């Protein structure tokens, strides 16, 4: 790191470092005295963040300068000075993801269906979500990292509608499993209370204090307007989906089943494939005689190949975690918008095909990394996409500078 007595050249102004104090982790406090005419004798407090030999210096809230301790020295009238150039938030994020985490919680590579999907939609969004945002929950994380974490946790109306429905169904099924079925009216009241709380948390900005616990709408963050009428329509849609579910033959059948037959309800679970942790979250798995049924509720449009692959992952999990598995595996997908059920077998050819696909995806995603063992990523290997219609709805558009060009903020 820099030392007291050294010099800094920032924005063509020379500063002499009077004090350099470690704060915590990568952070340092600097006290500098102006040497150039424009800042002569001025004392300025600055903060510095160190990533290896790269130092990011911040004078004001948002602006960074960066210098490389191994190569950016210039000779000046006061001796050598670290010549720092203006740096963007992306420069800092790029340095952040090239270095190991500065916390006990390491960013280990894992795989999930949604992770692979995120990459397919936009490699840069994938990078922000799984790399740039890491450590963003810490109060002393650099501002761009905290921002990436905040944006990662934003939702939007369609996504929120689906979450509301899934949470309500999960609650209803958990009560069935516990042997205490809910009165339907109570379930709707609970959903309405949750919807109101989410809206209030987002509208008030409270979600910014706890981005991973409280709901924040993109529409509020980017100030694109979330009219009460739109929000109420989304809530009404969620209630219709829930009503469809509660009145379905499928739910009527589930109510007749012994609670002990419910194996898992929307629990986050993992298993291992090719030495990598695979995350899954089945909406419901249930044993009935020699068959294990895996359920999935959908509020949006579906594509059959995708669906088979997603449910195939659940099949792989069950095959690995419930051996010896003599039971047949069957998938049940309930399309809430159409009140229609799709069923198919999770048979061996499908599981094989799914496994091959996952292994290829893991190899591809890890192959993009700077250091696959340490799970370090280089921003340049995760390009932005050209389709601005996708960017218009992307939670990360601020980091890409595509919020203003959409005229949204």
Query: CA 38, CA 226: separation in Å to the nearest integer?
Result: 47
Q: In this complex, which beta carbon is closest to ligand SF4, that of residue 124 or of residue 317?
A: 124
When binding is defined by CB under 6 A, the residue of 69, 251, 400, 406 that contacts ligand SF4 is: 400
Tokens for 22? 């470690």
Q: Largest alpha-carbon pair distance within the chain?
A: 86
Beta bridge partners of 335: 298, 340
Total residues in contact with ligand SF4, by rule CB under 6 A: 12
* Backbone region of residue 74 per phi and psi (left: phi > 0; alpha: psi in -120 to 50; beta: other values): beta
Contact mark string toward ligand SF4, 172..211, x via CB under 6 A: ----------------------------------------
Q: To 10 degrees, what angle do helices 184-204 and 157-177 make? A: 140
Q: Is 119 in the site for ligand SF4 (CB under 6 A)?
A: no
Q: Is 396 in the site for ligand SF4 (CB under 6 A)?
A: yes
Which range in 191-199, 247-255, 353-361, 394-402 contacts ligand SF4 by CB under 6 A? 394-402
- Backbone phi and psi for residue 361, each to the nearest 5 degrees, phi listed first: -65, -45
When binding is defined by CB under 6 A, the residue of 224, 357, 402, 408 that contacts ligand SF4 is: 402
Q: How far is the CB of 409 from ligand SF4 (least distance, A)?
A: 12
Query: CA 373, CA 388: separation in Å to the nearest integer?
Result: 34
Q: In this complex, which beta carbon is closest to ligand SF4, that of residue 174 or of residue 385?
A: 385
Q: How far is the CB of 223 from ligand SF4 (least distance, A)?
A: 17
Q: How far is the CB of 384 from ligand SF4 (least distance, A)?
A: 3
Q: Is 293 in the site for ligand SF4 (CB under 6 A)?
A: no
What sections of 332-376 are H helices per DSSP?
348-367
Q: Is 150 in the site for ligand SF4 (CB under 6 A)?
A: no
When binding is defined by CB under 6 A, the residue of 248, 309, 390, 408 that contacts ligand SF4 is: 390
Q: Is 397 in the site for ligand SF4 (CB under 6 A)?
A: yes
Q: In this complex, which beta carbon is closest to ligand SF4, that of residue 128 or of residue 314?
A: 128
Which range in 6-14, 193-201, 348-356, 386-394 contacts ligand SF4 by CB under 6 A? 386-394
In whole angstroms, how far apart are CA 242 and each of 177, 254, 295, 339? 18, 15, 16, 11
- Of 120-139, binders to ligand SF4 (CB under 6 A) are 122, 124-125
Q: In this complex, which beta carbon is closest to ligand SF4, that of residue 78 or of residue 402?
A: 402
Are 409 and 222 contacting, i.e. CB atoms less than 8 angstroms apart? yes
Tell me, rounded to whole angstroms, the distance of Cα 278 from its chain centroid: 16
Query: CA 287, CA 328: separation in Å to the nearest integer?
Result: 10
Are 399 and 149 contacting, i.e. CB atoms less than 8 angstroms apart? no
Query: CA 219, CA 31: separation in Å to the nearest integer?
Result: 41
Q: How far is the CB of 363 from ligand SF4 (least distance, A)?
A: 23
Q: How far is the CB of 119 from ligand SF4 (least distance, A)?
A: 11
Query: CA 26, CA 9: separation in Å to the nearest integer?
Result: 21
Tokens for 380? 């340049």
**Contact positions toward ligand SF4, by CB under 6 A?**
122, 124-125, 384-385, 390-391, 394, 396-397, 400, 402
């Amino acid at each position: 790191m820099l030392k007291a007595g050294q010099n800094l050249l920032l924005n063509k102004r020379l500063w002499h470092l009077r004090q350099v104090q470690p704060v915590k982790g990568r952070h340092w406090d600097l006290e500098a005295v102006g040497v150039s005419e424009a800042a002569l004798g001025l004392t300025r407090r600055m903060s510095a963040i160190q990533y290896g030999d790269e130092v990011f210096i911040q004078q004001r809230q948002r602006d960074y300068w960066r210098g490389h301790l191994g190569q950016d020295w210039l000779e000046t009238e006061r001796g050598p000075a670290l010549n720092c150039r203006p740096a963007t938030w992306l420069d800092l994020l790029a340095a952040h993801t090239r270095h190991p985490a500065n916390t006990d919680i390491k960013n280990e590579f894992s795989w999930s269906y949604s992770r692979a999907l995120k990459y397919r939609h936009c490699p840069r969004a994938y990078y922000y979500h799984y790399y740039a945002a890491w450590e963003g929950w810490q109060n002393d994380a650099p501002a761009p990292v905290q921002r990436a974490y905040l944006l990662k946790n934003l939702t939007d109306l369609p996504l929120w509608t689906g979450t509301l429905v899934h949470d309500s169904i999960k609650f209803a099924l958990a009560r069935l499993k516990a042997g205490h079925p809910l009165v339907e009216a109570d379930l709707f009241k609970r959903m309405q209370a949750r919807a109101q709380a989410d809206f209030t948390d987002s509208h008030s900005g409270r979600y910014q204090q706890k981005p991973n616990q409280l709901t924040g709408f993109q529409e509020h963050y980017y100030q694109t307007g979330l009219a009460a009428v739109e929000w109420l329509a989304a809530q009404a849609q969620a209630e219709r989906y829930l009503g469809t579910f509660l009145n379905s033959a499928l739910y009527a059948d589930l109510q007749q089943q012994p609670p002990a037959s419910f194996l898992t309800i929307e629990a986050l679970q993992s298993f291992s494939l090719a030495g990598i942790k695979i995350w899954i979250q089945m909406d419901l798995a249930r044993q009935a005689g020699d068959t294990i049924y895996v359920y999935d509720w959908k509020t949006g449009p579906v594509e059959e190949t995708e669906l088979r692959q997603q449910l195939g992952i659940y099949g792989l999990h069950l095959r690995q975690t419930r051996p010896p598995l003599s039971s047949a595996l069957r998938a049940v997908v309930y399309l809430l918008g159409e009140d229609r059920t799709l069923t198919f077998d999770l048979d061996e050819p499908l599981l094989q095909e799914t496994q091959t696909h996952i292994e290829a995806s893991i190899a591809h995603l890890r192959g993009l990394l700077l250091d696959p063992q340490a799970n370090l990523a280089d921003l340049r290997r995760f390009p932005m996409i050209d389709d601005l219609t996708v960017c218009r709805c992307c939670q990360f558009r601020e980091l890409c500078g595509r919020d203003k060009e959409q005229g949204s903020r």
